[in-house]
């Protein structure tokens, strides 16, 4: 069985829901009410995406995260 390691980007939306995206897999995202729930859900969606996208994995290198404040 092959092993994969993916970067998961998690954000909290305006309604307080956690939204997770896997940039290496097209259309691979999910949400959850808690961090625990979104992590459980993202594992499931990764498995589903891998069923159809194993040959289409697009590796991305996470360089960093920055907050930038701009007054306009």
Q: Where are the domains of the chain?
A: 9-56
Name the residue with higher pLDDT: 3 or 38.
38
Please write the tens of the pLDDT for every residue from 9-59.
999 999 999 999 999 999 999 999 999 999 999 999 999 999 998 888 888
Measure the CA–CA gap between 14 and 38, rounded to whole angstroms: 16
Say if residue 1's pLDDT is above 80.
Answer: no
pLDDT in the model for residue 60: 86
Classified as helix, coil or strand, 62 is: coil
Indicate the fold that domain 9-56 takes in CATH. Double Stranded RNA Binding Domain (3.30.160)
pLDDT in the model for residue 13: 96
pLDDT in the model for residue 2: 83
């Amino acid at each position: 069985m092959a092993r994969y390691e993916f970067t998961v980007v998690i954000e909290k939306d305006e309604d307080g829901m956690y939204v997770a995206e896997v940039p290496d897999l097209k259309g691979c995202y999910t949400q959850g009410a808690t961090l625990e729930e979104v992590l459980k859900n993202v594992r499931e969606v990764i498995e589903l995406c891998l069923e159809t996208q194993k040959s289409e994995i697009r590796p991305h290198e996470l360089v960093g995260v920055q907050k930038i404040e701009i007054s306009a």
